[in-house]
A and B are shown apart, each in its own frame.
Chain A
Amino acid sequence: MAEQKDMVLEMENLNVKFVLEEETVEAVNGISLHMRTGETLGLVGETGAGKTTTALSILKLIDSPPGVLECDRMEVCGQDVLKMTTSELEHIRGSLVSMIFQDPMTSLNPVFTVGQQIAESLERHENLNKNDAWKKAEDMLELVGIPRERAIEYPHQFSGGMKQRVIIAIALACSPRLLIADEPTTALDVTIQAQILHLMKELKEKRNTSVIMITHDLGIVAETCDRVAVMYAGRIIETGNLDEVFNHTKHPYTEGLFNSLPNIKKRKHKLQPIHGLMPDPTNLPKGCAFAPRCNYATEACKERRPELMGFGGTHQAACLAYEQAGFHIERGKTNG
């Protein structure tokens, strides 16, 4: 699928901190992401894991201050984002990289028609005149399954699912190479979610766009993504292709996530929640951030922070337990 070797995104060692008056929130702590054309990456994690911050960093949309962004390398389609001026950044936002936000209710401007809002970015990025931009905007609406006559309507005349379609139309209007979708269906009902996911998958294949799908729902990842990266406390703790992560789970946190998920196919099995809470990002533990909640944690885990290590193929996980020979976790054993 990713036959051409051209990379859409190369990000090395991203760190994002928010320096507040009394404390420093360490939101992202050393994340590297690489994406090829046409690939879909699922970025999974719970509230506060740093998923959205990572995504916003790609477009340098972190407010500074209080945000402090440090990164060794960040290239979008071979262009160095870190060295870009504000106007260059504005140019790639929406044309090379665009973003879909979680809440369709607040992402559209209520005083402009949806047609105007789609045409706006076309006029800006594609240098189209008003008429052509409007025509293309109508085409985009049709592409996302909305009749083109509705371009003259205002956002409040659309339902939640329809609004999210409009937002997808805006995001895809300038044929971006990379689409970042931040929980695009969380605010929607399941039947509408199914429609939207179906639409995104279709469009992605048609246009060969790379997608970063940010979500907390492992089900969505299983159905839409090629690769997955699981985040915890601002780090990637396990990554690999779907089969590797889902069927040969290595990290105890990923295992915990699967075990606490009510699964429609396994009715009577008892849920096994992860005990405890996410660590406070203003006061992260010295060792592995997951150690206080981990059933396999040893003294070493509290002292030393694990780095990602390879498990063959693209599979990587950050867990010290694998330094002992023969260590394996329950889920890996039963399912793998």
Chain B
Amino acid sequence: MADTILEVRNLKKYFKTARGTLHAVDDVSFTIERGKTLGIVGESGCGKSTTGRAILRLLEPTDGKVFFNGIDITSLSNFKMRQMRREMQIIFQDPFSSLDPRKTVSQTIAEPIIENRLLKDKKAIEARVHELMDTVGLAQRLVNSYPHELDGGRRQRIGIARALAMEPKFIVCDEPVSALDVSIQAQILNLLQELKEKMGLTFIFITHDLSVVNHFADEIAVMYLGQLIEKAPTEELFDHPVHPYTRALLSAIPIPEVGIERPERILLKGEISSPIDPPEECRFAKRCIYTCETCRKSCPKLLEASPGHFVSCHLWKDFM
């Protein structure tokens, strides 16, 4: 039995809106092994960020369970949950809004240490802040700077230092590099990779950019309209994508090379349909070129197509 750190079972998050119930996350289940990285990929509105937040209970799940180290955290009291958050952290997408503009770098990084009473001595807290700044590659002279004085990459480093302050075991990275320029993005990706190896962290890496996760993730889960439609080890997913959506997604990425043979591009018709009260059919049926009668009748279940490769499509056998 593999060493499972996190298990998500039938997670659902619905929002009530004026027009009906928005199915942001609809029955998502997966597990992550300790020390591995799961990439969750999908386009805007597919529920990937909501999934990340529901796992940490930053949004209360509507239904389903989340087990962390075997403990069902969805049933914990608020008090117990606050303690559990030391182990489970999050790095946010937007380094411009995820830091309190009125707090200096050191105040931001020290806050989790002080609030959780990890260290009491002022000197020790200061030393720890310096250590964390070193870890994430922030120069000591920036200790009393305010976020607005720093660029996006540095702000993101502050966010990472804050997440690391409590020595978590598990971190949800919610699009941590999508707001950054390419050269800075690579710096942050390398930093996260280093930290993961050094501290044995487990990551969920949420992104819309498949080329980013292919560097980073051991396994990739593709989401579409609140559902997990395909999950496989990274190489397997890139080499043998099964679900028509995954294949379209992969083929849509522009490749920055000239004079190579480009794989044929699968152009999807239309756009993502509404997540409000979705009909009982395959969520992808409206855009899929292979849609048949079965697809319109029922929503496919996630099945294991080959060892470790899960896919949710009625026609998966035809695509293997």
Touch between A and B in complex, CB under 8 Å?
yes
- Residues of chain A having any CB pair with chain B under 8 Å: 46-47, 159-162, 189-195, 197-198, 216-223, 242-243, 246-247, 256-265, 267, 270-275, 277-278
**Contact B256 A219, beta carbon cutoff 8 Å:** yes
- Residues of chain B having any CB pair with chain A under 8 Å: 43-44, 151, 153, 181-187, 189-190, 208-212, 214-215, 234-235, 238, 248-260, 262, 265, 267-268, 271-272
Closest B residue to A269 by beta carbon equals B215
Closest B residue to A47 by beta carbon equals B181
Kindly provide the distance from the CB of B144 to the nearest chain A CB, expressed in whole angstroms. Answer: 19
**Contact B271 A159, beta carbon cutoff 8 Å:** yes
Cβ 8 A contact of A190, one of B187, B189, B249, B262: B249
Most buried by B among A198, A256, A261, A275: A261
Q: How far is the CA of A246 from the CA of B153 in the complex (A)?
A: 26
Most buried by A among B208, B238, B256: B256
A–B pairs, 17, beta carbons within 8 Å: A159-B271, A190-B43, A190-B210, A191-B249, A193-B254, A194-B252, A216-B182, A217-B256, A221-B256, A222-B256, A223-B255, A243-B259, A260-B186, A261-B256, A262-B215, A263-B211, A267-B214
**Contact A261 B182, beta carbon cutoff 8 Å:** yes
Q: How far is the CA of A132 from the CA of B58 in the complex (A)?
A: 55
Kindly provide the distance from the CB of A25 to the nearest chain B CB, expressed in whole angstroms. Answer: 16
Q: How far is the CA of A193 from the CA of B208 in the complex (A)?
A: 12
Kindly provide the distance from the CB of A201 to the nearest chain B CB, expressed in whole angstroms. Answer: 11
**Contact A263 B252, beta carbon cutoff 8 Å:** no
Q: How far is the CA of A275 from the CA of B139 in the complex (A)?
A: 14
Q: How far is the CA of A162 from the CA of B262 in the complex (A)?
A: 26
Kindly provide the distance from the CB of B29 to the nearest chain A CB, expressed in whole angstroms. Answer: 25
Q: How far is the CA of A221 from the CA of B187 in the complex (A)?
A: 23
Q: How far is the CA of A273 from the CA of B105 in the complex (A)?
A: 24
Kindly provide the distance from the CB of B22 to the nearest chain A CB, expressed in whole angstroms. Answer: 16
**Contact B254 A267, beta carbon cutoff 8 Å:** no
**Contact A263 B186, beta carbon cutoff 8 Å:** no
Given A222-B254, A242-B258, A265-B255, A162 contacting B271 (CB threshold 8 A): yes
Q: How far is the CA of A277 from the CA of B211 in the complex (A)?
A: 23
Contacts of B211 in A (CB 8 A): 261-264
**Contact A243 B258, beta carbon cutoff 8 Å:** yes
Contacts of B210 in A (CB 8 A): 190, 264
Contacts of A257 in B (CB 8 A): 182-183
Contacts of B260 in A (CB 8 A): 265
Most buried by B among A161, A191, A198, A242: A191
Contacts of B255 in A (CB 8 A): 219, 222-223, 263-265
Contacts of A274 in B (CB 8 A): 183, 186
Kindly provide the distance from the CB of A220 to the nearest chain B CB, expressed in whole angstroms. Answer: 5
